[in-house]
């Protein structure tokens, strides 16, 4: 019985603490004090695109009470653009809770503004994926 309890505790810990095993590396900070991280170990290349997770850690809660958010992007390093494929909103810093996810049905390509955090993130991901 004790082994079963330990096993279940371990399984639930792994399932519900996805960021505890992520290797988030700081890549940018906004003028508002928000910090942006990329999990370089999870970057994947497929069909000429790069796929990656980035995490936003907010200095102040958003209007919805979120303190962090993770976004899964499809990046196009040739045309320097990205699509947001999935969002996870978190009430805890650094995505430390299970969060609420959302996936848009028809995500559109976006082009990062010059000198923005998104530009820094995409440049970092594309350089790493070469």
Residue 76: CB atoms within 10 A of its CB come to 17
Interatomic CA distance for residues 114 and 116, integer angstroms: 5
| CATH class label, 18-129 | mainly beta
Residue-level pLDDT, tens digit, the chain, 130 residues = 444 333 334 333 333 444 445 799 999 999 999 999 999 999 999 999 999 999 999 999 999 999 999 999 999 999 999 999 999 999 999 999 999 999 999 999 999 999 999 999 999 999 999 9
Annotated domain spans of the chain? 18-129
- Residue 118 C-alpha from the chain's centroid: 12
């Amino acid at each position: 019985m004790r082994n079963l309890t330990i096993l279940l505790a371990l399984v639930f810990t792994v399932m519900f603490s996805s960021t505890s095993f992520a290797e988030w590396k700081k890549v940018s900070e906004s003028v508002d004090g928000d910090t942006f991280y990329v999990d370089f170990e999870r970057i994947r290349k497929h069909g000429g695109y790069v796929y990656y997770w980035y995490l936003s850690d907010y200095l102040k809660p958003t209007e919805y009470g979120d303190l962090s958010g993770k976004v899964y992007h499809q990046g196009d390093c040739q045309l320097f653009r990205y699509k947001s494929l999935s969002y996870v909103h978190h009430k805890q810093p650094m995505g430390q809770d299970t969060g609420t996810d959302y996936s848009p049905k028809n995500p559109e390509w976006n082009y990062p503004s010059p000198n923005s955090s998104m530009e820094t993130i995409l440049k970092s991901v594309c350089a790493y994926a070469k």
